[in-house]
A and B are shown apart, each in its own frame.
Chain A
């Protein structure tokens, strides 16, 4: 598998702070993967996201995106490859209307007007927001604003989409719809889009291809969900939740039911329960 992100010995300390927000972090992400970045508050997740887009400059170490070093010299190229969706729906809505907001990134790249119109319509249709193109943000729900934010990020055709707790401020319905939208996009674009989702939603992380666990600015572990989530005690010690399927397994085991030892997704557990019931 081709690597799209390579992080080597990355350290970052915020100005005027002695303790580094990220310490000696090294990891790689494969092209086309869906990566979940988890960790409790202050573990350095958002700092890492900002470093990937050169919104912050590393104190030490190096990041390569698509073999290109992330530094002052390559900042434009990097930002053409990395799109970001932030947490607060209002604070990333730059344009006066939905269409203006999507066009903002294109205007910055001096795209000609005709092409810009085409692109704005295309990405807004992709996230099912085209009918709202002329709406002002004050007349949109949080979930709709976040879908516009996705469209704005996608408009520049990035290879990597970073969701920095993008669903944290939405209600459950908005959260579900937004994640469905991203899943659909990922399914359409396949290996052309790498998704890095910083999340508190452990069930969302459980469906990722790769999970990265950060704690106090250090990499705890990285691997597939089944490698990470089977060690419930370790996750809980880090202040993290355990996916629902694993919680269910633990509770069933406590009642003396012989549960599968390997990691199971929600669907896997449902399947297993059906089999268990039909055997009786």
Chain B
């Protein structure tokens, strides 16, 4: 029942993209969301799509994996595209029915939005498919370091995140055990209407929460016993070394972005 829930969707591998520092991948993925707005003409969309496809191919993971990543968002994409098509009303009219009209500008805008959306999803899927959740948490901690100066407890947040990630499988196991225990006592989880099904889960959630709190208390003791005290600086066992590949990847992205800006300048 619970093993269907994929966590993080990380697929281990040895491709160039897998081996990149999580910080590079995180920076590029976030920057891409903004940079993509420089694309306004067909040549620039072509250029952005080529870049994205190249990155996707370099991960060495089949296209099918990516399609699975897109599927949950497809309705959102279609909805946004439909809104653009229906509500951009400038340009030559192609079709009209009452106050509804589809115009050339609307269709062009709609397709543009669809492509942008698709590319952003593909790039962020690359990030989550090729980066272990823990490395991603470390990367976030390092990129958020500057916030320490304004009093954000970055190290504590990162430790919380890594402990949360570490306990996901433990809690899923426990949930499964509780479900089985309830089933053995005659509870039926997959029958009845939605309300009944939701209700059947209440006796699963309560013991799960109580146990989670118990675990947290014991974990707190274990952490203190090993000398943890939130108020002092800690050294890090896990270290990430910025390599030549990482610099090359970042430079490639900067070149890509400059080219995109140049295309905008030429084609408007």
Contact = CB atoms under 8 A, between A and B. Distances in A.
Contact of A86 (B221, B229, B236): B221
B115 interface: no
A153 B225 CA distance: 9
A211 interface: no
Nearest to B226: A105
Interface of A: 50, 53, 55, 76, 79-80, 82-84, 86, 88, 90-97, 99-100, 103-113, 116-117, 120, 136-138, 152-153, 156
A15 to B, nearest CB: 14
B238 A100 contact: yes
A136 B225 contact: no
A90 B235 contact: no
A110 B234 contact: yes
A147 to B, nearest CB: 15
Interface stretch (B38-46, B62-70, B143-151, B159-167): B159-167
Contact of B215 (A50, A90, A100, A104): A90
A156 B226 contact: yes
A8 B225 CA distance: 22
Interface in B21-77: none
A100 B227 contact: no
Contact of B166 (A55, A84, A96, A153): A96
12 contacts: A53-B225, A79-B227, A86-B218, A94-B222, A96-B162, A103-B237, A104-B228, A105-B227, A110-B232, A113-B236, A113-B237, A116-B235
B222 A92 contact: yes
Contacts of A104: 223, 226, 228, 237
B222 A108 contact: no
Given A110-B232, A112-B235, A136 B219 contact: no
B225 to A, nearest CB: 4
Contact of B225 (A55, A95, A97, A103): A55
Contacts of A103: 237-238
Contacts of A53: 225
A271 to B, nearest CB: 41
Contact of A107 (B163, B218, B236): B236
A137 B170 contact: yes
B191 interface: no
Interface string B144-183: 0000000000000000001101100110010000000000
Contacts of A120: 237
B219 A92 contact: yes
B41 to A, nearest CB: 45
A90 B239 CA distance: 25
A69 B228 CA distance: 20
Contacts of B208: none
A94 B223 CA distance: 7
A152 B223 CA distance: 11
Interface string B220-259: 0111111111001111111100000000000000000000
Contacts of A136: 166, 169
A106 B238 CA distance: 12
A93 B169 CA distance: 13
A9 to B, nearest CB: 24
A109 B162 CA distance: 19
B134 interface: yes
A138 B223 CA distance: 19
A93 B166 contact: yes
A153 B214 CA distance: 22
B231 to A, nearest CB: 11
3 tightest A-B CB contacts, nearest first? A103-B237, A92-B222, A138-B169
A108 B170 contact: no
Q: Which of B223, B225, B234 has the most chain A CB atoms closer than 10 A to its own CB? A: B225
B166 A108 contact: no
A84 B221 CA distance: 10
B89 to A, nearest CB: 53
A78 to B, nearest CB: 10
Interface string B112-152: 00000000000000000000001000000000000000000
Given A90-B170, A137-B166, 5 more contacts: A86-B225, A91-B219, A93-B166, A100-B237, A113-B237
A91 B216 CA distance: 7
B207 to A, nearest CB: 16
A80 B228 CA distance: 11
Given A91-B219, A138-B170, A79 B234 contact: no
Nearest to B229: A108
